[in-house]
Amino acid sequence: MPELPEVETLSRQLQNKICGCAILTSKVYDDKLNGMGNVQGRRILVVERRGKTIALRLNDGNSILIHLRMTGRLLWQESSIRPKHGRWRITFKEGNIFLVDPRRFATVKIEKTRNEKIENDLITGFNKNSFLEKQAGRKVNVKVLLMDPKAIAGIGNIYACEILHRAGISPLRQASTLSLKEWNKVFDYAKRILKKGIEKRGTSISDWRDLYGCKGENQNELKAYGRAGNCCLICGGTIRRIKQGGRSTFYCPHCQK
């Protein structure tokens, strides 16, 4: 499932591939995505990531916003033949970008380009004071808070588990009980783990692939997620799996306090 590092990987590849290119045609294959307007003839000025959203900034003042949700992928293909689960296509002179999404949760829409920077992205700009003021006191589990896109952009289930594991903080802790020192630890590990994820071009634990169909390598770096019953690589305890808000959480009860 694409989280910040996966979306960043795609954004960078798209920026290299289609920045400055004109859209020849586009085609919607799935009625759910019918809200797309006509983008024919528009040129891509720049590709940016906003949280987990990919924004293709166009030369007409609008942006195409792509959110991959759970199983969405973007695939570069020279051929314009629709791949399995292809939902949407934009065609350039050199080839096509397909939105491929088996479960059809992904969204594509056009909106007027917004210039203001988001303030809750740990990589592109994070307003720590604003977070501590507005979010840190909430009465939800710290893991649920890390995954709330309004609180912090880009962190999904895998990276939330990894961050709390490395920071030694139990996912069951109520957010409001964390000290400033503990929050700083969370931010610090979060940045490190997300940057590492970007370096490794994403976590291909299930079906994540980059723009060219290649796997990432971050799955080899995971120390908690998916390791229930295995030994904790930090303290030697046993990784446990529990449910929080309907989602699996992997953590080490021994070293995460």
Partner DNA sequence: AGAACCGCCTGCTTGC
Partner DNA sequence: TGCAAGCAGGCGGTTC
Rule CB under 7 A: which residues touch DNA?
Answer: 1, 3, 32, 51-52, 67, 69-71, 85, 102-105, 138-141, 144, 147, 149-150, 156-158, 245-248
Distance in angstroms (rounded) separating the CA atoms of residues 27 and 30: 9
Q: Shortest Cβ distance from residue 211 to DNA (Å)?
A: 19
The structure tokens 């024919």 sit at 40
What are the two backbone dihedrals, phi and then psi, of residue 54, each rounded to the nearest 5 degrees? -100, 125
Q: Please name every residue paired with 64 in a beta bridge, in sequence order, or none if there are none.
A: 56, 110
Of 18 and 136, which CB lies nearer to DNA in the complex structure? 136
Contact present, 42 and 26 (Cβ < 8 Å): no
Residue of 2, 6, 42, 73 marked active site: 2
Known catalytic residue at 171 = no
Of 184 and 248, which CB lies nearer to DNA in the complex structure? 248
Q: How far apart are the first and last CA of the chain?
A: 28
Known catalytic residue at 111 = no
Q: Shortest Cβ distance from residue 128 to DNA (Å)?
A: 19
Of 97 and 145, which CB lies nearer to DNA in the complex structure? 145
CB atoms within 10 A of CB 21: 15
Known catalytic residue at 3 = yes
Residue of 52, 57, 89, 143 marked active site: 52
Known catalytic residue at 6 = no
What are the two backbone dihedrals, phi and then psi, of residue 98, each rounded to the nearest 5 degrees? -105, 140
Residues labelled as active-site residues: 2-3, 52, 247
